[in-house]
Structure 1
Amino acid sequence: MTTPQAPPPAEPDAALSVFLAQRPQLIRTARRITGNATEADDVVQETWLRWQRADRTKVVNAAAFLTSTTTNLARNVVRSARYRHEAPLLLPGAVRATTETGQDPTWYADRTADAEEALALLLTRLTPGQLAAYVLRRGFDYAYADLASLLGTSVANSRQLVSRAQARLRSGQAQAVPAVVGRRLSAAFVGASRTGDLRELETVLTATA
């Protein structure tokens, strides 16, 4: 008796076609859960990476697999320490508001301290490339194409850097970082936030990326 043979793995083009057909719905699902378009985009990118790694010969329903993966990843983002603001990344507008609206200087000092604390956490958990991609994407809404150009990589790799940074932040892995590095990054970040001139921040972030 001839032993039944397992079907061959799906071709990459076929896997991509299946994913692209589901992507609009996945984006809607991720955005509904996270409430954030950028978060949703990153969640779906991670879903694509997992779909590539999956043994698709064992997936009975591709749409259900992709939807379930996206839902779980989005929920993880919502539960993550960064999302709950245990490690917040101060957005540029928060710092600029101090000078533009006459905000209490004490408030500004507090927000600057928040930024320094968050950046210190990022420094201890992310690789240089991940740090650069994550700070510029999350803090200043850089397009992935701009990140790719700045970091000398592809758009796909720039997306992966941000996605892996998020995963690494959730993992809690840490490494020692010289204090002077943290001070220089914090000064560049706050300066960029206040003035809108990101050249020094880019220089600091790409020095070791």
Structure 2
Amino acid sequence: MTMEAAAEFESHRPRLFSLAYRMLGSASEAEDVVQDTYLRWSAADRSAVRTPAAWLTKVMTNLCVNRLTSARARRELYVGPWLPEPVLTRTADGPLGPLETAEQRETVSLALLTLMERLTPPERAVFVLREAFGHSHREAAEVIGVEEAHARQLYRRARERLDRPRRHFAVDDTRRREIVERFFAATLDGDLAGLERLLADEVTAWADGGGRVTAARRPVTGRAKVLRYVLGLSSRPEAAAAAFVPAEVNGEPALLALLDGALLAVVVPEIHEGRVSAVRTIVNPDKLAFAAAQLA
């Protein structure tokens, strides 16, 4: 492959990664798919490629669709709740691209990425292409190789399956960050009354340990149960030894738990109507590898 062809691919790499991550919910798999796309680009007859961006997007999206098909079977055997791999997004030129608007942040939020597990691979492909990258129905259809009418149907089905109001980032950013900071402070201080005021009635906590480390195997639902759950976690001996660092993860305020510099956990609360409506904790070391590398 010529240096020009390699440089052409590298100019598209950030966009390809951010697309693959939204498709797969896994940073490590997104890196693998981008590399597979590079190998196909290096072997392609590039003289026949009129628009490299469109060619690369099509190849990579279909590689993601194939991976999602096989991933469904693997995730059915996953130990405990499955959550997406967290990605630090503290810089403007982060790996997930610009996150300047509520819509851009929502497409990488752990809440939406988790919900997208409900979609079939083609539905997810069309949804991501439309919602995150602004492709028309015709363009999305060309990418996945279907008729435009079918792409429209896939998109409509995806929206119906997700069945979510656009309210995840409705709270002002400053207010949302303030609520998250108060939640973490109350949790670490063991402030029972403070937590009761912050938790929504139907709050749910998920923990992804993947069978690698100890974590709740089922979601914990309801204010009283989640209250006991988070206070129990904060009282563990390892919590006393850990350092807790605020961060931005997938466009949302989060907390990192570090022990001797090693990343042990990523905790991301979800805010709705001024209260914590969900808490997602990733402790599976395989899921933390990408974020840990970002910290290095």
Q: Give the TM bin, normalised by the shorter chain.
A: 0.3 to 0.5
More helix per residue: 1 or 2? 1
Q: Which structure's residues are more often strand, by fraction? A: 2
TM-score normalised by length of structure 1: 0.39
The TM-score, its normalising length taken from structure 2, stands at 0.28
